[in-house]
Chain A
């Protein structure tokens, strides 16, 4: 359980996961924020206004998956580094996952890294497809990796060699 070990279970994840139909349409954000922390930078980060908090900044953010275009601008803005973008349409057998990265060294495009699940276990190899490092991202890089589709809901971190 998340509260005992920091690992989100499949049941907890289901409360924020976009539908299979939405995944078939292209990249979409997954906001893995499970607590009512007073916090709202994700709302203003989204250029498509797809993230909302109805009653105030302690609301858990709600993603309108239909409005979300998977641009990933929310990924570096979340103070909890809890937002990911998943593209299940990337290739027949692999998905593209974008995650926030704040370690040194920053991986390079084409580099093969280890994909880690939520317990830090290396579960697959992952090729780095893209690295976004804008000044306005303030030292949080957005790294996009290619992972097997059956790992798409597990891999949430990378380890360089």
Chain B
């Protein structure tokens, strides 16, 4: 069994949805594939208001943005076909992929593919980190905001980036006590307004600390923490225990990049972007001219940049098939300008460094 499309989009989170919407709006035939029963990726779990420009989605809660995208996609049935519960199991040659769903296995031929596979949560090394009750931050969000179940009654959060800060707040909204937030650096990693929000509700923020071990038999019952110096070395005699029934790890994400490796895309390791990413240009095209990338798979960032990167990829992929157009040019210009704005300021520094490294590597190719 096989099917044919012009643009295959892998992953229906904010990046893939946006790429598919733009490509379909610009006239391409698009097949959007996601291995979940619902579209929206991690965006549907975001209950907080987004930052950014009010001209786009600032002030709107993440899951409402997801609803808007789904509505847009639903209105494009003429050009956009969506397959749920379906995985891409491999690339065969430059223009063929295998699709696996509970009902069938089939091949799809395409002219361009936009891979928006997102990221996976990092784990952290400490004694007993495999105890039941040690969960990734995304897992905690999934449990709370999708299934309406508290991950525990007293949680210790590890990591003070935006995810750790935001999920701590969401835990409190779900009626869970956050006994503390642990951060290895001496300063808070995420937006300070997020930190203030939880601090003023009584959550201690232990900067310059780490978790030594999880305590408990059969499941988390507590955690042993200790202080770290500026060089991340443990300070002797500073260990103390906290009581908790769940330890949430918000220690970063790593891009999911297996498909790019299958497609022989040149990969590059960029720490600021989360690890190994496919080398890509400002058009979101990798070193394999058939393969585009958007979202966290192109570098760990945010949903807003995933949406904008997806829009650029969808427009550029369309242009590469159907030729340039004024509408595509406008989409690209608007999205690129918004991306520049979102990445400006001191909070965008690390991302800018990471992106500069990618640009240097591409220029050297």
**Whether chain A touches chain B in the assembled complex (some CB pair under 8 Å):** yes
* B193 interface hit (Cβ, 8 Å): yes
Contact with B along A76-106 (1 / 0, CB 8 A): 0111111000000000000000000011100
Given contacts A3-B188, A57-B341, contact A116 B200 (CB under 8 A): yes
Query: What residues on A are CB-neighbors of B61 within 8 Å?
Result: 138-139
Query: What residues on B are CB-neighbors of A78 within 8 Å?
Result: 193
Chain A interface mostly: loop
Contact with A along B69-108 (1 / 0, CB 8 A): 0000000000000000000000000000000000000000
Option from A7, A36, A79 in Cβ contact (under 8 Å) with B347: A36
* B192 interface hit (Cβ, 8 Å): yes
Query: What residues on A are CB-neighbors of B320 within 8 Å?
Result: none
Q: Is the CB of A5 within 8 A of B175?
A: no
Binds A, one of B201-209, B242-250, B265-273, B289-297: B201-209
Q: Is the CB of A6 within 8 A of B199?
A: yes
Bound-state CA distance A4–B342 (Å) is: 24
A110 to chain B, nearest CB (A): 23
Given contacts A41-B54, A79-B59, A157-B201, contact A6 B195 (CB under 8 A): yes
* Nearest CB in chain A to that of B170: its residue: A102
Given contacts A118-B199, A157-B201, contact A4 B186 (CB under 8 A): yes
Given contacts A35-B193, A36-B347, contact A120 B203 (CB under 8 A): yes
Option from A3, A39, A40, A159 in Cβ contact (under 8 Å) with B192: A3
Query: What residues on A are CB-neighbors of B345 within 8 Å?
Result: 36-38, 58
Residues of B170-205 contacting chain A, CB below 8 A: 172-173, 175, 186-188, 191-203, 205
* A143 interface hit (Cβ, 8 Å): no
Given contacts A5-B205, A80-B193, contact A40 B53 (CB under 8 A): yes
* B352 interface hit (Cβ, 8 Å): no
* A66 interface hit (Cβ, 8 Å): no
Q: Which of B172, B207, B345, B346 has the most CB of A within 10 A?
A: B345
Query: What residues on A are CB-neighbors of B224 within 8 Å?
Result: none
Q: Is the CB of B52 within 8 A of A57?
A: yes
* Nearest CB in chain A to that of B343: its residue: A38
Q: Is the CB of A38 within 8 A of B203?
A: no
Query: What residues on B are CB-neighbors of A3 within 8 Å?
Result: 187-188, 192
Option from A5, A37, A77 in Cβ contact (under 8 Å) with B199: A5
Q: Is the CB of A38 within 8 A of B344?
A: yes
* A125 interface hit (Cβ, 8 Å): no
Q: Is the CB of A81 within 8 A of B197?
A: yes
A64 to chain B, nearest CB (A): 19
Option from B48, B54, B186, B195 in Cβ contact (under 8 Å) with A40: B54
A126 to chain B, nearest CB (A): 13
Bound-state CA distance A2–B341 (Å) is: 25
Bound-state CA distance A152–B358 (Å) is: 49
A-B contact pairs, 15 of them (CB 8 A): A6-B196, A8-B196, A36-B346, A37-B51, A37-B345, A38-B344, A40-B58, A43-B54, A57-B53, A57-B341, A58-B341, A80-B194, A119-B200, A120-B200, A138-B49
* A127 interface hit (Cβ, 8 Å): no
Q: Is the CB of A79 within 8 A of B200?
A: no
Q: Is the CB of A120 within 8 A of B202?
A: yes
Beyond known contacts A5-B195, A35-B346, A79-B59: 7 more, CB 8 A cutoff: A7-B196, A45-B59, A56-B344, A58-B348, A120-B200, A120-B202, A157-B200
